[in-house]
Chains A and B, each alone.
Chain A
Amino acid sequence: MLDSVIFYFFAGIAVISAVLMITRRNAVHSAVFLITTLLATAGIFLQLRAEFLFISQIILYVGGIMVLFIFVIMLVRLDVPLPQIHSRTQKWIALLVALAVGFEAGVVIWFARKVPGQGLLIPNAAPADKLPPNTEELAKGLFGTYLLPFEIASVLLLVAMVGAVVMAKKRTDA
Chain B
Amino acid sequence: MSPMLHSILAFVQAWWVELLCALLIVLVVPLIAVYIALVERKFMADVQARPDSTRVGPHSLLQQIPDALKLLFKEDLIPANADQFIFWFAPVLSMTAALTSMGAVAFGPWFQVARDINLGLLFAVGVSALRPLGIILGGWASNNHYPIIGALRSTAQLISYETTAGFALVSGFLLAGTLNVRAIVEIQRTDQAWFVFLAPVGFFIYLIASIVETNREPFDLPETKSELVAGSIAEYGGFRWLLYFLAEYANRIVVASVGTTLFLGGWLRPFPNVRWLIWLDAAPTLLLAAVGAYCVFRAGKQPAREQSLFMWAVALACFVVAAIFALAAPFGHLPFELMHNGLYGAFWLLLKVPAYIYIFTWLRFTLPRFRFDQLMRLGWHILIPLALINVVDVGIALALSSEFGWNRWLSTLITTAATLAAGMLFLRWNDNNSAVAPTAMLADSSDARDSHAG
A and B are interacting partners: yes
Q: Which residues on the A side are within 8 Å of B85 (C-beta)? A: 29, 32
The reply to whether the CB of B34 lies closer than 8 angstroms to some CB of chain A is no
- Please determine whether B119 and A71 come into contact, CB atoms closer than 8 angstroms: no
Asked whether any CB of chain A lies closer than 8 Å to the CB of B416, the reply is no
CA distance A135 to B179 in the complex (A): 9
Q: Which of B118-147 contact A (CB under 8 A)?
A: 118-119, 122-123, 125-127, 129-130, 132-133, 136-137, 140
Decide yes or no whether A70 CB sits under 8 A from chain B.
Answer: yes
B155 x A55 contact (CB < 8 A)? no
Is B127 in contact with A74, judged by CB distance below 8 angstroms?
A: no
User: Range of interface residues on chain B?
Assistant: 20 to 34
Query: Within the complex, what minimum Cβ distance (angstroms) separates A4 from chain B?
Result: 14
Q: Are A63 and B132 in contact (CB under 8 A)?
A: yes
Chain A count of residues within 8 A CB distance of the other chain: 31
- In the complex, residue of chain B having the shortest beta-carbon distance to the beta carbon of A24: B85
Classify the secondary structure of A's interface with B.
helix
Smallest Cβ-Cβ distance to B132: which chain A residue: A67
Q: Which residue of chain A has the shortest Cβ distance to B3 in the bound complex?
A: A1
Q: Is B83 in contact with chain A by the CB < 8 A criterion?
A: yes
Q: Is B86 close to A, CB under 8 A?
A: yes
Residues on the A chain within 8 Å of B116, using CB: 129-130
B152 interfacial by beta-carbon distance below 8 Å = yes
Residues in A neighbouring B159, C-beta threshold 8 A: 64, 67
Known: A55-B126, A59-B129. A32 touches B140 (CB 8 A): no
B310 CB–A CB distance under 8 Å = no
**Most interface-central of A1, A51, A63 (chain B CB within 10 A):** A63
Residues of A within 8 A of B137 (CB): 28, 32, 70
In the assembled complex, the CB of B14 is this many whole angstroms from the nearest CB of chain A, namely 9
A interface footprint on B432-450 (CB within 8 Å = 1, 0 otherwise): 0000000000000000100
Enumerate chain A residues within 8 angstroms of B204, measured Cβ to Cβ: none
| Smallest Cβ-Cβ distance to A1: which chain B residue | B7
Tell me which residues from 30 to 72 in chain A have a Cβ below 8 Å from any Cβ of chain B. Answer: 32, 35, 51-52, 54-56, 58-59, 62-64, 66-67, 70-71
Q: Is A133 positioned at the interface, with any CB of B under 8 Å from its CB? A: yes
Supposing A59-B129, A66-B133, A129-B116 touch, asked if A28 and B155 sit within 8 A by C-beta, the answer is no
Q: How far is the CB of B7 from chain A (nearest CB, A)?
A: 8
Residue from the list B127, B152, B155, B448 in contact with A58, Cβ < 8 A: B127
- Interface mask (B378-402 → A, CB under 8 Å = 1, otherwise 0): 0000000000000000000000000
- Of A54, A55, A64, A130, the most chain B CB neighbours within 10 A belong to A55
Q: What's the nearest-Cβ distance from chain A to residue B454, in Å? A: 12
Does A93 make an interface contact (CB < 8 A)? no
Tell me if A51 and B119 are in contact (CB < 8 A).
yes
How far apart are the CA atoms of A130 and B117 in the complex, in Å? 9
Q: Does A156 contact B (CB under 8 A)?
A: no
Shortest Cβ gap from A43 to chain B (Å): 12
Q: Which residues of A contact B133 (CB under 8 A)?
A: 35, 62-63, 66-67, 70
Instruction: Decide if A133 touches B136 in the complex (CB within 8 Å).
Output: no
B136 touches which one: A54, A56, A58, A71 (CB < 8 A)?
Answer: A71
By a CB distance below 8 angstroms, the chain A residues around B129 are 58-59, 62-64
Q: When A28-B137, A35-B133, A67-B133 are in contact, do A131 and B126 touch as well, CB less than 8 Å?
A: no
Which residues of the other chain, B, contact A54 by a CB distance below 8 angstroms?
A: 119
Neighbouring B residues of A56 by C-beta, 8 Å: 126
Is B365 positioned at the interface, with any CB of A under 8 Å from its CB?
no
Partner of B89, one of A32, A58, A67, A129: A32
Q: A51 with B117: in contact, given A28-B83, A28-B137, A170-B448 (CB under 8 Å)?
A: yes
Is A134's beta carbon under 8 Å from chain B? Answer: yes
The 9 closest A-B pairs by CB, nearest first: A63-B129, A55-B126, A133-B118, A59-B129, A59-B126, A58-B126, A51-B119, A67-B132, A55-B122
Inter-chain pairs besides A32-B85, A51-B118, A58-B126, 12 sampled, C-beta below 8 Å: A1-B7, A2-B7, A32-B137, A62-B133, A63-B126, A63-B130, A66-B133, A67-B155, A74-B140, A74-B152, A134-B118, A135-B122
**7 A–B contacts, CB within 8 A, in A order:** A32-B86, A32-B137, A35-B133, A58-B127, A63-B126, A63-B133, A67-B155
